[in-house]
Structure 1
Amino acid sequence: MIDAITITGLTATGFHGVFPEERREGQPFVVDVVLELPLETSSDDLADTVSYADIADDVEAVITGEPRNLIETVAGEIAERCLLRGRVDRVTVTVHKPRAPLSQTFADVSVTINRSRHV
């Protein structure tokens, strides 16, 4: 049985996209992360888990960091950082781009990836 820590709706401004105005003006990106790992529920010690505050810092750093053309790349970089946290076995990352440059009316554009340290 695998346990999970979930962060939903972490929002920050990034400059990702293929169009010059996306790189110039920026836009909000919203990220959901599900970390799968064995959770020690009897120790009550932060050292026996993964700090969701550290994960949130990592996610924000990727969103606000070096501009990427694709949200797929952003999701991959977030997943890589999460898997560097020693106890995380698997991660699911969804990057939402609610202001993607589409001419149609839409609610959201998102990419979801799943990565595991045991591949």
Structure 2
Amino acid sequence: MSWVYLGIAVIFEIAVAISAGNANGFKNLKWTLLTLMSGAVATFFLSLALLTFDVGVGYAIWTSISGVGIVILGSLFFNQHLDWRKILGILVIIIGVVGLRITGAA
């Protein structure tokens, strides 16, 4: 169940980044509220996942997968450039997450 919680936390963390990017420095109330609510939900589900995961491992996986998701969504929907260096970085992150997983995280 901890992987489900972590997955939900990742989805809401990606929503935080997208919302914060649209909040215009917290001048847009709708996007600001969405940023804050998404952050609260992400943190709640992360805390549930961390009941099983080691804190460092769970947090590292959460931020890594969220970061990869944000980069991919940025390239798909927000016209952000995805070049070979970003792809290489994503691959390194994925290798790191797999490495954390095979060391016995949850």
Higher relative strand content:
1
TM (norm. structure 2) is 0.31
Higher relative helix content:
2
TM (norm. structure 1) is 0.29
